């Protein structure tokens, strides 16, 4: 009888141990043990497909990497000063400015051509309209722009560009308005050069609004265009 009881007791202990093991996990692992490593590969293009240090050419956000070897912007900048790399703006002191009469017989208007020669010893960029004022015995008369589109011009050292001034010729027979001088301010500059006026001595007296004198775009040498 003692041997039979001992065998029954042993069986109960073994059964209790099996029940405790089942409560701790059916897969045979103990509580708190790490789960088996997954062998399923990540989907193609997923976050684990390639990191930023694996040579996929992407940043961690998936955007193309920034090219730090280049800079943006245009060399002549239509919306800027029009300066090119290595060539600054043409300064008044760098320019030799002269004015000559270029009126063609038979034209309804008179024409004066103003030449800008780069004498500064370096290339420079000029763009836009020069400021033009006629000195008269009735006061200063500012020329009006023709409205042509601005185009930057690289003026090599020793080279020239020009623009035209057109004005009405006095054919009234009266004394008109006497012109006594010409003031020219290069584009984007504030320093003005005073020149002798080479055109007709007088302008007709006008009573309408606006200036009868027109100034052309730099680079449009000729009949004020």
Q: Evaluate the CA torsion angle 210, 211, 216, 218 in order and state its sign.
A: negative
For 199-213, what is the mean pLDDT?
A: 86
Residue of 164, 170, 165 lying closest to 201 (CA atoms):
170
Q: Which two structure tokens, joined as six digits, stand for 34?
A: 């790490």
For 92-106, what is the mean pLDDT?
A: 95
User: What are the tens digits of pLDDT across the range 111-157?
Assistant: 999 999 999 999 999 999 999 999 999 999 999 998 888 889 999 99
Q: Is the pLDDT reported for residue 10 higher than 50?
A: no
The predicted structure's pLDDT at residue 85: 52
- DSSP conformation letters of the chain: -HHHHHHHHHHHHHHHHHHHHHHT-TTSPPTTPPPPPP-PPPPTTSTTT--TTTTSS--TTSSPPP-TT---S-SS-TTS--PBTTBEEPPGGGEEEEEEE-PPTT-SEEEEEEEEEE-SSS-EEE-S--EEEEEETTEEEEPEE--PPP--EEE-TT-EEEEEEEEE---SSS--EEEEEEEEE-TT----EEE---S-SEE----SSS-S-EEPPTT--SS--
Token pair 């041997």 in the structure block, residue: 3
Phi then psi dihedrals of residue 141, to 5 deg: -125, 115
User: What are the tens digits of pLDDT across the range 102-119?
Assistant: 999 888 899 999 999 999
Token pair 């010893």 in the structure block, residue: 121
Q: How far apart are CA 86 and CA 177, in angstroms?
A: 45
Q: How confident is the model at residue 87 (pLDDT cuts 50, 70, 90)?
A: confident
């Amino acid at each position: 009888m003692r041997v039979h009881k001992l065998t029954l007791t042993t069986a109960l202990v073994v059964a209790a141990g099996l029940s405790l093991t089942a409560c701790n996990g059916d897969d045979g692992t103990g509580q708190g043990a790490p789960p088996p490593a997954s062998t399923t590969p990540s989907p193609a293009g997923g976050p684990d497909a390639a990191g930023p240090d694996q040579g996929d050419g992407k940043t961690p956000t998936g955007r193309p990497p920034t090219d730090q070897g280049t800079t943006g912007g245009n060399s002549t900048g239509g919306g800027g000063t029009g300066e090119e790399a290595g060539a600054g703006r043409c300064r008044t002191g760098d320019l030799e400015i002269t004015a000559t009469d270029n009126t063609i017989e038979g034209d309804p208007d008179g024409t004066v051509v103003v030449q800008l020669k780069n004498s500064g010893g370096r290339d420079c960029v000029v763009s836009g309209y020069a400021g033009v004022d006629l000195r008269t015995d009735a006061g200063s008369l500012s020329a009006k722009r023709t409205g042509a589109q601005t185009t930057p011009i690289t003026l090599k050292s020793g080279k020239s560009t020009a623009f035209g001034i057109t004005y009405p010729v006095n054919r009234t027979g009266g004394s008109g308005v006497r012109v006594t001088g010409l003031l020219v301010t290069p584009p984007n500059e504030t320093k003005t050069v005073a020149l002798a006026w080479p055109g007709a001595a007088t302008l007709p007296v006008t009573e309408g609004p606006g200036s009868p004198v027109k100034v052309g775009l730099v680079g449009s040498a000729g009949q004020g265009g």
